Homo-oligomer: A and B are copies of this chain.
Amino acid sequence: MELTRAMESTVLHWGEMGSRWGVNRSIAQIHALLYLSTKPITADEITETLGIARSNVSTSLRELQSWNLVTLTHVMGDRRDHFEAKTDLWEVLLIIVDQRKKREIDPTVSTLRKCVLDAGGDGTPEDVKSRLNDMLQFGETLTTWYEQVSRLPTTTLVKLMHMGAKISRFVKG
């Protein structure tokens, strides 16, 4: 698979972005490549195109599949696995946020909950306790909000987005 200049920069930049957000470069690059590719491609093609080890591609694809961002498909008359990425970017965004929430935010909130409990009997000063409480409260507000909003249909979300700041009209007071 031959990459044009534009495709190459996109893939490289996406890899760079990934690493700044705690996603490893290979995974991000592969994801970008699959997103750009308009037909399913094999692991070997990815290996060649990106110049990374076959085993690394395998592991990364596995990870991408576990995120539901990439699916395995088959092509008639070809034994090899082919891979393709979700193309609806709204769906992609929601998947990523959902997963990171589940893997990182939710555990953080429960850790905080435990800390607030512990703080009751371990001699934590009152003012620190109130800071801890604020954090927990804040986390809970955000997650509750997200859980509701993320369940709205995409079309609604798009419309809400396009309203931008106008949405504030509907707030009382």
Binding site for B on A (CB under 8 A): 4-7, 9-10, 13, 17, 19-22, 35-38, 87, 89-90, 93, 104, 108, 111-112, 114-116, 118-119, 122-125, 127-128, 131-132, 134-135, 138, 141-142, 144-145, 148-149, 151-152, 155-156, 158-165, 167-173
Contacts and interface: CB of A to CB of B under 8 A. Distances in A.
Contacts of A127: 38
User: In the assembly, how many copies of this chain are there?
Assistant: 2
Nearest to A92: B138
A128 to B, nearest CB: 5
A112 to B, nearest CB: 7
A149 B128 contact: no
Contact of A168 (B38, B152, B164): B152
Q: Interface residues of A: mostly helix, strand, loop or mixed?
A: helix
A161 B147 CA distance: 11
B159 A124 contact: no
Contact of A132 (B10, B112, B135): B10
Given A9-B111, A9-B118, A164-B144, A123 B17 contact: no
A151 B122 contact: no
A145 B90 CA distance: 14
B152 A165 contact: yes
A25 to B, nearest CB: 12
A106 B118 CA distance: 41
Given A6-B115, A7-B124, A22-B21, A168 B156 contact: yes
B132 A148 contact: no
Which 5 pairs show the lowest CB-CB distances between chains A and B? A6-B119, A148-B165, A148-B164, A6-B118, A4-B124
